[in-house]
Amino acid sequence: MYPLGNNNQISLSTQLVQQLIQFQGCCQDCHTQIRVKQDQVRKSELSLSLSEIIQWPCPDVVGTARMARSDDSWISEWSATQQEKLFCGISPSDSKEPPHVMLDLSQEHLNQSDITFDIDSVSAYLSSLAAARCGIRWYPSQPPVSSLRSSLHLDPIPVQYVDHDGKHHSVNVPLHQVNHIALGRVVGLEDASIYVFFPGLYRPNQRTNRLRDYEFQIWMDEIVLPAIHQCYSGSELQHYPSSFRHGQANSWAAWAEGRSIHTQSRQQLLSYFVPAEQLNRLWEKMLQIIKERHLTGFDHLLLFLDAKNLKLSTKARTWAAMRTWF
């Protein structure tokens, strides 16, 4: 090999630099042809099925009883064809034409997500029914199953009960284990429910957190309905059930009077709109009736609001707008 002169060295180095910095791939027309061809290929042909993946010669590390070691004889156990298939993804049956890498497929622009604020869920103790500013959808009958299945990460609440020996006990119980009813839903925020908890009706060996029928009858006939009759006019009262039995009959009517082959549940959870204007007075009347009639077990009531899956309905671009809307 003969030594190169300075001019030859400069020329060679210039050519090497140009080769490195210049595009050495295919032309623009070739890219266009490949893109058209790729668009005509079905998406199923651009992926591998699970059965095809399993057929690949891969080490069965899951089926072994120990961790793989660096001195395992993987290389000696596999042929050159298997190694090429594993490390390069190429097998003798594949086309000799090198695969085309479609970079534009990996660079597709996605819709840019905006930064927004939302409320996912709400749990709160209420001092009055007036928190429902647009009114409530009142349930005059008990749902078959309560939707409260956990304590919602809240502290246990104190309850009182009397055992078989007549001894009084006071214990702290998780929220969902305390006897309660779903009073209704908040109008304008249908994912929010209002519950009434009865700490005085707790039983240590109870199998359900619902009120017993006679307890719910007292709640309806001696507390709720008398309070409603004192707060609302006849134009509203004519649409409400007149008693516990009336509400029960309405909830069972569709099943009892329906077809011989029933396609719906026996009990319907009917709801009635109660305007917001008198909700605060209604709650005060209910507490007053309990106190005046000495209804043991119905005192120390707790109002509780629970709402979930509010992300889409409370979404706003600013924190202030989100809070104002809620």
> What are 251-272's pLDDT values in tens digits?
776 655 555 555 555 667 888 9
Q: Is residue 136 part of a domain?
A: yes
Q: How many domains does the chain have?
A: 1
- Give how far Cα 266 sits from Cα of 19, 30, 112, 235, 258, Å: 81, 69, 48, 30, 10
Which band of pLDDT confidence, cut at 50, 70 and 90, is reported for residue 1? very low
When pLDDT is averaged across residues 224-243 and rounded to a whole number, the result is: 93
Q: Is residue 166 part of a domain?
A: yes
Quickly list H helices, 78-218. 80-88, 103-106, 213-218
Residue with token string 């709109």: 273
Quickly list H helices, the chain. 6-21, 28-40, 50-54, 74-77, 80-88, 103-106, 213-218, 225-231, 234-237, 244-256, 279-292, 319-325
Q: Is residue 190 part of a domain?
A: yes
- Supply the range of the domain harboring residue 275: 122-146+155-259+267-324
- Give how far Cα 101 sits from Cα of 53, 109, 192, 246, Å: 21, 18, 52, 73
When pLDDT is averaged across residues 130-139 and rounded to a whole number, the result is: 93
Q: Is residue 32 part of a domain?
A: no
- Give how far Cα 169 sits from Cα of 25, 161, 210, Å: 84, 5, 21
Q: Which of 176, 188, 181 is nearest to 137 (CA)?
A: 188
What pLDDT score does 143 carry? 80
Q: Is residue 85 part of a domain?
A: no
Separation between Cα atoms, residue 244 and residue 286, nearest integer Å: 16
Question: DSSP characters for 89-115?
Answer: ---TTS-SSPPP--HHHHTPPPPPPPP
What pLDDT score does 2 carry? 44
Asked whether 172 and 119 are in contact (CB, 8 A), the reply is: no
What pLDDT score does 48 carry? 63
Does residue 27 surpass a pLDDT of 50?
yes
Q: Is residue 208 part of a domain?
A: yes
**Residues constituting the chain:** 326
b/e code 17-38 from CB counts within 10 Å (16+ = b): eeeeeeeeeeeeeeeeeeeeee
The two tokens of residue 272 are 């009635």
The β-bridge relationship of strands 136-138 and 180-186 is antiparallel
pLDDT tens-digit series, residues 39-96: 666 555 556 666 766 666 666 667 777 777 777 776 667 777 777 777 777 777 777 7
Q: Is residue 38 part of a domain?
A: no
Q: Is residue 235 part of a domain?
A: yes
